[in-house]
Amino acid sequence: MIAAVVTVSDSCSRGERQDQSGPAVTQLLERIHFSVVAREVVPDDSLQIQNLLIRLAREVQLIVTTGGTGIALRDVTPEATRAISDRLLDGVAERMRAEGTKKTPFAALSRGICGVRGRCLVLNLPGSPNGAVESLEAVANLLPHALDLLSGKTDHK
């Protein structure tokens, strides 16, 4: 299973802050047997996010974004993801938020979505390292089956 991790952050993209969420998510993906072939940092700019997601979707099976899912004015990751997605998987995002609210009520403020572009799954995670890892853990067991389905393995034995 091949993945890419995209950190969406103005301050990280300008080099003003070190990315902590991207490496944390990468470690978890590798632990659950993904090969992370790309790690990118992009500012909170919808067009730049869209262009990067489109490019990466041609190269990997899973794109995990971290950051830009809140309600601040510059948080546009869900909109960028929606714009490039063929379909949305609402249940995946609902599961992440449901699990997150067990630890913090602020999880309800996350607007992250999960979409499909071609045969690639795009998953939006929160920007905090803990929130990103916990959200990914909440849906990690769904990813192999989802990727099998996207790759055409639809036999339900």
Output the pLDDT for position 154: 79
Output the pLDDT for position 155: 78
Output the pLDDT for position 70: 93
Instruction: Select from 28, 117, 110, 131 the least CA-distant residue to 81.
Output: 117
Output the pLDDT for position 133: 96
Model confidence, pTM: 0.94
* Low-confidence residues of the chain: pLDDT under 50: none
Our CA angle for 154, 4, 34, nearest 5°, is 60
Digit-coded pLDDT (tens) for 104-119: 899 889 999 999 999 9
Digit-coded pLDDT (tens) for 25-49: 999 999 999 999 999 999 999 999 9
